[in-house]
């Protein structure tokens, strides 16, 4: 439980245990490596910390344990779980660093190399002891907390917010392990290639550096494997909560995004090197024209990409509902397409800019050739990465039937399309502002702008205008497709709106639904008006027929309460509603001596708004869900997000036009 008392207990426990652990480590280092650490003051200080922090920790931790034993729910409390996973992370992170240092020192000892830049200039034997002490102590501390967590989980399984904390811990260390492994593999591959093709490779690691990469791999790989297997176990054996975890999706898609982007960038460097040779310009790029560096990155990142793509595919299969599966598949496709299109646009705009600036014959230098080589490389690297997934998405959207409509309607597709519309609009805006500024400047007596000045903004605005038109036409086609499909589907669709009140609700809902132009047949029946009672009773047979034939009946819940306060509703009408095969959309209206649980206070306007939303969701084939207005926190986050986005956009604009 999140009480001030519990916060106090866990905070003191955390601080005192960390102080105790690090004091023990420092003291042991002082005692076991005396020729380097022989400071009496430090020894006295560390002893003091141990003597004071240990009882403080024990008192508070035993208090925490007593509380957990007394109340079973405490074992799954957010604060306790945060403390335990936080402490585990606090011990595991320095353990990784120490284990890396230890293995590195052992490898130095085996190979006979002298470690450079080692802590306090230790020799390899002292370095082994230096790193061995924290490695042993930290792993013990980590294991103790692991055991506590396992004991707690036996009594009260981790769930809710606590399972989110666990996922953060698991995927956090998965990321660290994967990053270490990837980095080590890239550097080792680079080293191997340097051995094969001559070691004149720029930035290649030295023979002493190679031991660090081996150590990184020895630590990183098991770390990743252990935590990734844990993550997989949680996902496969876990409950629905684990399956629907947003963090796992974020982790997988972030890795795919980074791997794809890195692979595309490295491919660009290789292609750039080729084009530089075609254009006969000296190589000055990052790889100095040597393709071994980007090849080692591409190879590693392609494996990371392929593996995580397979994981995403199997996750999609396990996702259950077809709608969720399609959503996840779409997320992957549009993510890759967005990377590819962004690169393609950067490349093609650059090529056009070079073309425009080449017309100006008074310029000279290798700049134009260099840019042409670079932008052609970017275009070629980006084009297939965009074209293939985007074509697949377009094909799916063009399909007749629900698959196509669902693609056209999907939120991810809309975000993708509107994102590029936004980028295109902003690019046109900033480019045209710059061109106009230069022209006004010229009218005011300054030098006229040259093609070299205006080449880039002209090229960018032309490409951006094309991007805008293309994405806008895709959106327009999507909309037409949705409407066409809706008209075909809803041609014979009938919605019956029943009102037992003062007719206000039925009138407003009818107006709202007509405005939405849904293409359905709408029938409104008002039972609450005195003057209509006789007519309703005369036309009862016809009303019952309409209710029987309806596809959707919208009504206050009282319609199914025959003989209740709304005595104007006959038993026959109630039976017709109940027996109708139509879907019934019931409103939780207030009725004397009847109350609702879990429903907020409402008024007629609220009902009207939510009924229209519910009908729209229903007609789209979606689940009827409550659409809540944005809270103050969400609005604040959106405002901060917009400010950050504008700042981000200002950076390229400043670079581009030197504002």
Partner 1 sequence: MQNNYNGDVEINSKNDEANLKYKDKFLSVIVVGAVLLTVIAFAVVLLRPKPEYQSENTPAGIAHNYLLALEKRNYERAYKYLAPSLQGRPDSVDEFYENIENNSRSFRLDSDVTVQVESEKIFKPSAVVIIRETRFDVGGIFDSNQTTDTFRMGLRLDDNEEWRVIDSDYYFASCWQRITGCR
121-125 long-range contacts, CB within 8 A, separation 24+: 122/33, 122/36
Q: Which helix (H) or strand (E) holds 552?
A: strand 552-556
Q: Choose which of 306, 484, 634, 648 interacts with partner 1 (CB under 8 A).
A: 484
344 part of the interface to partner 1, by CB under 8 A: yes
> Measured on CA atoms in the order 170, 176, 178, 181, is the torsion positive or negative?
negative
Q: Choose which of 105, 163, 300, 370 interacts with partner 1 (CB under 8 A).
A: 370
- Alpha-carbon dihedral angle through residues 521, 526, 531, 532, given to the nearest 10 degrees: 50
Could you tell me the smallest distance in angstroms from the CB atom of residue 466 to partner 1?
8
Could you tell me the smallest distance in angstroms from the CB atom of residue 379 to partner 1?
6
147 part of the interface to partner 1, by CB under 8 A: no
365 part of the interface to partner 1, by CB under 8 A: yes
Q: Residue 635, Cβ neighbours under 10 Å: how many?
A: 11
Q: Choose which of 351, 576, 612, 615 interacts with partner 1 (CB under 8 A).
A: 351
CA distance 5 to 13: 12
Could you tell me the smallest distance in angstroms from the CB atom of residue 376 to partner 1?
6
1 part of the interface to partner 1, by CB under 8 A: no
Between CA 505 and CA 512, with CA 509 as vertex, the angle to 5 degrees is 145
Closest CA to 294 of 271, 317, 315, 314: 271
CA distance 286 to 272: 10
Residues of span 392-411 touching partner 1 by CB under 8 A: 394, 398
Binding range to partner 1, per CB under 8 A, among 52-60, 90-98, 379-387, 418-426: 379-387
Looking at the Cβ atoms of 313 and 391, the one nearer to partner 1 is: 391
Q: What is the DSSP-derived secondary structure letter of residue 594?
A: B
Report the SS3 class of residue 497: strand
Alpha-carbon distances, residue 456 vs 265, 352, 355, 424 (angstroms):
22, 8, 10, 15
Cβ 549 vs Cβ 494: under 8 Å? yes
- Alpha-carbon dihedral angle through residues 537, 538, 542, 548, given to the nearest 10 degrees: 20
456 part of the interface to partner 1, by CB under 8 A: yes
Alpha-carbon distances, residue 552 vs 159, 486, 503 (angstroms):
38, 16, 19
Binding range to partner 1, per CB under 8 A, among 70-78, 414-422, 428-436, 530-538: 530-538
Q: Choose which of 175, 371, 392, 425 interacts with partner 1 (CB under 8 A).
A: 371
CA distance 108 to 118: 11
352 part of the interface to partner 1, by CB under 8 A: yes
Residues of span 161-200 touching partner 1 by CB under 8 A: none
CA distance 178 to 225: 9
232 part of the interface to partner 1, by CB under 8 A: no
Cβ 111 vs Cβ 124: under 8 Å? no
Could you tell me the smallest distance in angstroms from the CB atom of residue 286 to partner 1?
7
Residues of span 547-576 touching partner 1 by CB under 8 A: none
Binding range to partner 1, per CB under 8 A, among 128-136, 191-199, 228-236, 341-349: 341-349
Reported in sequence order, the residue ranges of 194-327 that DSSP labels E, i.e. its strands, are: none
Between CA 587 and CA 594, with CA 591 as vertex, the angle to 5 degrees is 100
Looking at the Cβ atoms of 262 and 574, the one nearer to partner 1 is: 262
Binding range to partner 1, per CB under 8 A, among 109-117, 176-184, 348-356, 431-439: 348-356
- Sequence-ordered list of residues with C-beta below 8 angstroms from that of 265, at least 6 positions apart, any chain: 381
Binding range to partner 1, per CB under 8 A, among 139-147, 151-159, 328-336, 649-657: 649-657
Q: Choose which of 43, 232, 325, 366 interacts with partner 1 (CB under 8 A).
A: 366
Could you tell me the smallest distance in angstroms from the CB atom of residue 262 to partner 1?
9
390 part of the interface to partner 1, by CB under 8 A: yes
Binding range to partner 1, per CB under 8 A, among 165-173, 533-541, 547-555, 629-637: 533-541
354 part of the interface to partner 1, by CB under 8 A: yes
Could you tell me the smallest distance in angstroms from the CB atom of residue 426 to partner 1?
15
Rg of the chain over all Cα atoms, to the nearest angstrom: 34
76 part of the interface to partner 1, by CB under 8 A: no
Residue 649 structure tokens: 């956009």
483 part of the interface to partner 1, by CB under 8 A: yes
β-partners of residue 249 are none
342 part of the interface to partner 1, by CB under 8 A: yes
One character per residue 255-294, x = contact with partner 1 (rule: CB under 8 A)? ------x--xx--x---x------x-x--xxx--------
Q: What is the DSSP-derived secondary structure letter of residue 526?
A: E
480 part of the interface to partner 1, by CB under 8 A: yes
355 part of the interface to partner 1, by CB under 8 A: yes
Residues of span 429-448 touching partner 1 by CB under 8 A: 447
Q: Give the residue ranges of DSSP H helices in 71-206.
A: 78-111, 124-155, 161-196
Binding range to partner 1, per CB under 8 A, among 116-124, 289-297, 343-351, 630-638: 343-351
């Amino acid at each position: 439980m999140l009480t001030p008392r519990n916060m106090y207990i866990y905070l003191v426990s955390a601080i005192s245990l960390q102080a105790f652990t690090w004091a023990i480590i420092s003291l042991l280092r002082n005692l076991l490596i005396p020729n380097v650490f022989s400071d009496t003051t430090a020894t006295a200080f560390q002893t003091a910390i141990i003597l004071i922090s240990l009882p403080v920790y024990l008192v508070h931790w035993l208090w925490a344990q007593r509380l957990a034993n007394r109340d079973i729910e405490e074992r799954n409390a957010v604060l306790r779980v945060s403390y335990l996973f936080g402490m585990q992370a606090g011990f595991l992170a320095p353990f990784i660093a120490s284990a890396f240092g230890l293995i590195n020192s052992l490898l130095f000892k085996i190979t006979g190399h002298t470690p450079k830049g080692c802590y306090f200039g230790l020799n390899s034997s002292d370095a082994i002891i230096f790193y061995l002490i924290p490695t042993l102590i930290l792993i013990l501390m980590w294991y103790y907390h692991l055991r506590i967590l396992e004991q707690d989980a036996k009594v009260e399984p981790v769930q809710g917010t606590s399972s989110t904390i666990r996922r953060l811990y698991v995927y956090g260390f998965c990321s660290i392990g994967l990053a270490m492994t990837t980095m080590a593999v890239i550097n080792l591959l680079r080293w191997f290639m340097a051995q094969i093709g001559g070691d004149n490779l720029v930035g290649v690691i030295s023979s002493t550096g190679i031991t660090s990469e081996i150590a990184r791999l020895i630590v990183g790989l098991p770390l990743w494997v252990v935590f990734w297997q844990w993550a997989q176990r949680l996902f496969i054996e876990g409950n629905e909560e684990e399956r629907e975890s947003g963090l796992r999706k974020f982790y997988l898609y972030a890795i795919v995004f980074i791997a794809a982007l890195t692979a595309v960038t490295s491919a660009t460097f290789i292609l750039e090197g080729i084009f530089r040779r075609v254009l006969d310009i000296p190589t000055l790029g990052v790889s100095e024209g040597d393709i071994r560096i980007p090849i080692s990155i591409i190879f590693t990142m392609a494996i990371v990409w392929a593996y995580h793509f397979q994981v995403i595919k199997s996750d999609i299969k396990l996702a259950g509902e077809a709608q969720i599966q399609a959503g996840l598949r779409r997320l992957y496709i549009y993510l890759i397409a967005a990377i590819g299109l962004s690169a393609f646009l950067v490349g093609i705009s650059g090529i056009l800019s070079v073309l425009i600036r080449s017309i100006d014959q008074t310029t000279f230098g290798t700049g134009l050739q260099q840019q042409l080589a670079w932008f052609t490389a970017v275009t070629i690297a980006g084009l297939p990465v965009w074209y293939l997934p985007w074509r697949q998405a377009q094909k799916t959207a063009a399909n007749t039937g629900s698959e196509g409509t669902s693609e056209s309607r999907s939120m991810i597709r809309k975000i993708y399309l509107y994102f590029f519309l936004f980028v295109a609009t902003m690019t046109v805006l900033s480019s045209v502002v710059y061109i106009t500024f230069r022209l006004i400047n010229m009218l005011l007596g300054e030098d006229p702008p040259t093609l070299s000045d205006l080449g880039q903004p002209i090229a960018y605005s032309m490409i951006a205008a094309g991007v805008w038109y293309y994405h806008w036409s895709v959106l327009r086609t999507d909309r037409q497709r949705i409407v066409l499909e809706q008209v075909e589907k809803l041609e014979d669709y009938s919605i019956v709106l029943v009102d037992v009140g003062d007719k206000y609700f039925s009138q407003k809902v009818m107006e709202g639904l007509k405005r939405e132009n849904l293409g359905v047949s709408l029938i409104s029946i008002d039972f609450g008006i005195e003057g209509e009672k006789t007519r309703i009773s005369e036309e009862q047979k016809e009303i019952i027929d309409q209710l029987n034939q309806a596809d959707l009946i919208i009504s206050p819940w009282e319609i199914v309460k025959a003989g209740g306060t709304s005595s104007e509703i006959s038993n026959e009408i109630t039976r017709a509603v109940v027996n109708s095969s139509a879907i019934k959309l019931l409103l939780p209206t207030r009725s004397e001596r009847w109350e609702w649980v879990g429903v907020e206070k409402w008024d007629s306007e609220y009902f009207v708004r939510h009924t229209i939303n519910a009908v729209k969701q229903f007609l789209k084939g979606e689940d009827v869900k409550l659409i809540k207005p944005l809270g103050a926190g969400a609005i604040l986050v959106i405002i901060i997000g917009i400010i950050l986005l504008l700042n981000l956009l200002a950076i390229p604009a400043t670079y581009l036009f030197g504002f």
